[in-house]
Amino acid sequence: MANMKQIAELAGVSLGTVSHVLNDTARVREPLRKRVLEAVRTTGYQPSQLARGLRRDKTNILAMIIPDILNPFFPGVVRGAEDVAFSNGYRLVLCNTDNDHGKEVMHLNALRTYLPSGLIVIPSDFSDLTAQTESYRRAGSAVVCIDRLPRNWDGDSVTINNADGAASATSYLIGLGHRHLAVITGPLHLTNSQDRLKGFKRAARQAGLEVPPNYLQETTFDRAGGYAKARILLKMIPRPTAILACNDMIALGALLAIREAGLHCPEDISLIGFDGLDLTETTTPQLSSVYQSSYQLGATAAQLALDRVEKKNTPVRHIILKTELRIRDSVAAPPSNVEVVAAATPKKLRKVAS
Amino acid sequence: MANMKQIAELAGVSLGTVSHVLNDTARVREPLRKRVLEAVRTTGYQPSQLARGLRRDKTNILAMIIPDILNPFFPGVVRGAEDVAFSNGYRLVLCNTDNDHGKEVMHLNALRTYLPSGLIVIPSDFSDLTAQTESYRRAGSAVVCIDRLPRNWDGDSVTINNADGAASATSYLIGLGHRHLAVITGPLHLTNSQDRLKGFKRAARQAGLEVPPNYLQETTFDRAGGYAKARILLKMIPRPTAILACNDMIALGALLAIREAGLHCPEDISLIGFDGLDLTETTTPQLSSVYQSSYQLGATAAQLALDRVEKKNTPVRHIILKTELRIRDSVAAPPSNVEVVAAATPKKLRKVAS
DNA sequence: AATCCGATTTGAAAGCTTTCACTTCGACGC
DNA sequence: GCGTCGAAGTGAAAGCTTTCAAATCGGATT
């Protein structure tokens, strides 16, 4: 592969001029410019991104740290970021942390010396990342946190309106007549989980509804978690007539638990998830969910990062995306005789509970 | 951030010695080594990956080009590759092509000058990639094609046994008594689609079964494609009693079409997908599928690439992974009176078919 | 004590680009 | 015709590491 020096010779100009033509960093007279471009074309020359990065102190790389691409929520985020990166001439480096703070720090450390222009992070937990990200900032990288925020975060961020989303779903259920509302939240050390729970509580409070403590179950953001906690909820007396699952994977697990308990959704119990993944359309019944655009989350973050690369000293931005309640088949009015049923079939309930 | 020169001064040794200690490229006496390591520790020094890559003519980057991370099959592949990359000190750059050859070539061109050690490609189509990948090889990068192969591919590859997988599913259906077997294939310009179709035909032939040409429908690897083609199939006389969908997304679409047609799976019609995605477990009925490990596909490819980085001149390897037929609820013996039903409702069928 | 030898260590070059101070060139005004 | 000025172009330095030929060191050999 040719290098710049050879292009310069071929075009009969100096090294500097080639660079100026390629980067449009100075005015170059047309004949020279043409000769340079021609030499580039014939040789198929491409500038070394490494030398370039070394000299400019940054590369056209965007780094992205997420929990796990296998979780169906994250591919959208990644794709959104990659699209924006690609159309701006950047490449995306992808790192999975498995929500392991140690692994997160390892990635953070290892990535740094590639001098990425931007770094997009979905924090593994509520650990303070200031120390690690500060070194990126010093090196001139733009850091954006998304989806959830680490402790003390004061940089750019993109999140969604978790509280309102959860509140809207909750209010909807209440509007349907539900009074026995349960919620299965994600890990409460994550800010998004916290906010969803807040929204749930707010909506309940506004409706004058008391939520017994054991109607609130915390678990991991996956199917197994949802399954386990839903089983517990379904054994309670009175049994909740509706469950808000704080993400779709939890909802999926809950749906399975409901089916296994011999109950029907939505006749016996209503269920609303969170995220609005594609797979909510292929379940039976189709799952209602608080939709959020994972794609836009990623795309916005990438744009934010790229913006900051351009203009270092713009004020910090904190973008909050909207959610949208998508009602499908998994919700209905509560069975009219819930209390009676619970009282009338103590044996069955007791049996299941044992 | 400190650089090597400062470490050398701090440790009272030469630049070369620091490099040797860090890379273990020469024997260094213990006292010196200790001083170097100590200096590294106190300063928190990290070598510049850019300068390093520039000098060594390769970086610890693994590039991966896939169709679309939003397609549920690919996250597994990516995760497999990233895990292997990470545990070997490499980072993964992810590129989506949307099965667009032009975009694929753009990525290929742009990535080159980052000097990745390895390049893993799921080709967008059957276009010849030799020209593009050859330049990677010349630059010392290991190139591995996976999942499907481009025209004239003679380098390392990892694929699955598509033909056997499809054949096993087909044979299973035949064993259940099905005689009216239809298949919805993916795009036949993809080698994996071709091979799955071959397997289907082979199994049918071995059972002495004739498959009418219109029982073979080609479409894209997504839900919309499966839905559209299944609708067509369901209107045929005689209606097929079983459909082999050549991936799970197609199967999902087919399932929807079946339901919309007022039919029941598996009572009226059996359905087997391909890939064995997680979401096959959450449909109703649970979808039978030819499972393949996307994770292992990616992990193996990364390992292959890394191996070749170590030892340039090992013979080309072509690894073929096994599939596993996973039977769930979407298959059953054919209804006993198919012909009768089809004959008894000619009017309806004619109308739909027009 | 002089040599020699293997083991260490060193210093400089090379890898490729951007950037910046400086030169050159042509035109313009006087 | 000469000085001046802006625009265009140049060349060298800087950015950081690896690598290799060469230098050095310590001890063993004769």
Nearest CA in chain B to A83: B96
Which residues from 19-48 of B have any strand C atom under 7 Å from their CB?
20, 26-29, 31-32
Angle between helices A4-11 and A15-23 (to 10 degrees): 100
Question: Which DSSP string do the residues of B124-192 spell out, in sequence order?
Answer: SSS---HHHHHHHHHTT-EEEEESS--TT--SEEEEE-HHHHHHHHHHHHHHTT--SEEEEE--TTSHH
pLDDT tens string B146-161: 999 999 999 999 999 9
Pairing outcome for strands B324-326 and B288-291: antiparallel
Distance A55 CA to C20 C1' (A): 13
Of A250-254, A307-311, B66-70, the poorest mean pLDDT is in A307-311
Distance A56 CA to C10 C1' (A): 30
- Within 8 A of A109 by CB-CB distance, chain B residues are 46
- Within 8 A of A47 by CB-CB distance, chain B residues are 113
Distance A38 CA to D5 C1' (A): 32
Assigned fold of B57-160+294-322: Rossmann fold (3.40.50)
- Within 8 A of A95 by CB-CB distance, chain B residues are 82, 86, 91-92
Nucleotide with C1' nearest the A5 CA? C16
Here the tokens at position A59 are 């590369």
Determine, for residues B110 and A92 on separate chains, whether the beta-carbon distance falls below 8 Å: no
Which is more confident, B213 or B348?
Answer: B213
Interchain CB contact of A255 with B (< 8 Å): yes
Distance CA B118, CA B104 (A): 16
Determine, for residues A79 and B93 on separate chains, whether the beta-carbon distance falls below 8 Å: no
How high is the pLDDT of residue A337?
A: 57
Determine, for residues A114 and B94 on separate chains, whether the beta-carbon distance falls below 8 Å: no
pLDDT tens string A1-26: 789 999 999 999 999 999 999 999 98
Residues A257-266: b if buried by 16+ CB within 10 A, e if exposed? bbeebeeebb
Q: Looking at domain B162-292, does it have CATH number 3.40.50.720?
A: no
Across-strand partners of A291? Answer: A275, A324
- Within 8 A of A114 by CB-CB distance, chain B residues are 49-50, 61, 91
Residue A351 has pLDDT above 80, yes or no: no
Which is more confident, A243 or B336?
Answer: A243
Distance B89 CA to D26 C1' (A): 38
CB A111 within 8 A of CB A95: yes
Is nucleic acid strand C under 7 Å from B54's C-beta?
A: yes
pLDDT tens string A39-87: 999 999 999 999 999 999 999 999 999 999 999 999 999 999 999 999 9
Q: What is the average pLDDT across B290-304?
A: 98
Dihedral sign (CA B200, B201, B202, B208):
positive
Coil, strand or helix at A161: coil
Determine, for residues A54 and B50 on separate chains, whether the beta-carbon distance falls below 8 Å: yes
- DSSP E strands, chain A: 59-66, 91-96, 116-121, 142-146, 156-160, 181-185, 216-218, 242-245, 270-275, 288-291, 318-321, 324-326
Chosen for mutation from A49, A90, A141 (greatest number of chain B CBs closer than 10 Å) is A49
Give the pLDDT band of residue A344 (cuts 50, 70, 90).
Answer: very low
Task: Quote the mean pLDDT of chain B.
Answer: 92
Nucleotide with C1' nearest the B55 CA? C15
Per DSSP, helices labelled H in chain B are 4-11, 15-23, 30-43, 49-56, 74-87, 101-112, 130-138, 162-175, 191-206, 223-234, 248-260, 294-310, 338-344, 346-353
Q: What is the average pLDDT across B273-301?
A: 96
* Closest residue by C-alpha to C1' distance, nucleotide D13: A55
Residue B349 has pLDDT above 60, yes or no: no
Q: Which nucleotides of D are covered by protein (CB under 7 A)?
A: 7-21
Determine, for residues B51 and A49 on separate chains, whether the beta-carbon distance falls below 8 Å: no
Determine what percent of chain B is predicted with pLDDT higher than 70: 95
Give chain A's count of helices (H) and strands (E).
Answer: 14, 12
pTM over 0.85: yes
Here the tokens at position A231 are 């089983």
Which residues of A, range 142-201, sit inside 8 Å of B by Cβ? none
Q: What is the average pLDDT across B197-215?
A: 96
Across-strand partners of A91? Answer: A61
Nearest CA in chain A to B3: A113
Which residues of B, range 38-67, sit inside 8 Å of A by Cβ? 46-51, 53-54, 59, 61
Coil, strand or helix at A283: coil
> Other C-beta atoms within 10 Å of A324: how many?
12
How high is the pLDDT of residue A305?
A: 97
Here the tokens at position B287 are 């979808």
Determine, for residues A82 and B96 on separate chains, whether the beta-carbon distance falls below 8 Å: yes
Nearest CA in chain B to A45: B113
Residue A169 has pLDDT above 80, yes or no: yes
Helix (H) / strand (E) containing A350: helix A346-353
* Closest residue by C-alpha to C1' distance, nucleotide D10: A14
Nucleotide with C1' nearest the A55 CA? D15
Residue B279 has pLDDT above 60, yes or no: yes
User: How many residue pairs from chains A and B have C-beta atoms closer than 8 A?
Assistant: 125
Q: Which nucleotides of C are covered by protein (CB under 7 A)?
A: 7-21
Nearest CA in chain A to B283: A283
How high is the pLDDT of residue A312?
A: 78
Separation in Å, CA of B48 to nearest CA in chain A: 5
Determine, for residues A51 and B48 on separate chains, whether the beta-carbon distance falls below 8 Å: no
Interchain CB contact of B9 with A (< 8 Å): no
Chosen for mutation from B52, B111, B113, B281 (greatest number of chain A CBs closer than 10 Å) is B113
- Within 8 A of B94 by CB-CB distance, chain A residues are 78, 82, 92-94
How high is the pLDDT of residue B340?
A: 39
How high is the pLDDT of residue B313?
A: 81
What stretch(es) of chain B map to CATH 3.40.50.2300? 57-160+294-322, 162-292
Give the pLDDT band of residue A311 (cuts 50, 70, 90).
Answer: confident
CB A271 within 8 A of CB A264: no
Q: What is the average pLDDT across B87-114?
A: 97
